[in-house]
Homo-oligomer: A and B are copies of this chain.
Amino acid sequence: MSKLTRKEKERLEARTEILNIAARLFAKNGFHKTTMDDIAIASEWSKGALYLRFQTKEELFFSIIEDIVNDYLETLNTSLTGRYNLEGLIKIIIEKQFTFFQDHIQFFQLLLSEQGKALQASGNRHREIMMAKQKEHFDLLVVAFDKVLSPDNSVSSNTIAIALTGAINNHLLNWLLNHKTVDLQQVQQEIVTLMLHGVQ
């Protein structure tokens, strides 16, 4: 059923391979300290080959983020298709976000390092795309919460979605900064409790 010729497959593989290697370098050293030469050497492609696939260094960078974000949104969307009660929904959201980012820690770091940039430089195509993705993300969550909450719930689905993802992200960031010495399983459970019943 594959519609990809051998050449197209190879091209896609090369692209993916480059993005993976570049992602590792960007995550490790940051955008500016990672040079196109670094990426070329690490990926064992020539610089010319990189520019054949990505017009600029920035485009290469955002391609990484875009790919992984798309991947995440797809996974999340699939998960949220099932039927949940409130507790189940919160649990699945937390679990998805935790497992996904454990699997893609370097992308998480990239994402964080770019959130600041999103606030700068308007009129930027990349900024627009990232904001659209962000909106898509919240929309998925809002729709899901709307299904399990009464319309006159005292806290809006939107507020819940933003607060929940913020709480999760902060925990993950904290976990990373503390060299992963925290028990994530327990943290997950506590966040569920917190979101369901509040602090007490």
Whether the Cβ atoms of A117 and B121 lie closer than 8 Å is no
Place the interface of chain A in its size category. Answer: 35 or more
If A109-B119, A169-B170 touch, whether A159 touches B134 (CB-CB below 8 Å) is no
List B contacts of A159 (CB < 8 A): 171, 187, 190-191, 194
The CA-CA distance from A162 to B30 in the complex, in Å, is 25
A10-18, A41-49, A150-158 - interface stretch: A150-158
Whether the Cβ atoms of B167 and A162 lie closer than 8 Å is yes
Closest to A105 in B: B119
The CA-CA distance from A94 to B52 in the complex, in Å, is 49
Contacts A163-B167, A166-B170 known; 13 new A-B pairs at CB < 8 A: A30-B120, A86-B200, A115-B116, A115-B173, A153-B200, A159-B187, A159-B194, A160-B199, A164-B167, A166-B167, A166-B171, A169-B170, A197-B197
Question: A: which residues have CB within 8 A of B?
Answer: 27-30, 32, 86, 90, 109-110, 112-121, 131, 134, 138, 145, 149, 153-156, 159-160, 162-171, 173-174, 176-177, 187, 190-191, 193-200
Could you name 30 residue pairs across A and B whose Cβ atoms are closer than 8 Å?
A28-B120, A29-B120, A29-B121, A86-B199, A109-B116, A113-B115, A113-B117, A113-B119, A119-B176, A131-B177, A154-B190, A155-B193, A155-B199, A155-B200, A156-B190, A159-B187, A162-B167, A162-B171, A162-B174, A163-B170, A163-B171, A163-B194, A166-B171, A169-B170, A195-B198, A195-B199, A196-B198, A196-B199, A196-B200, A197-B198
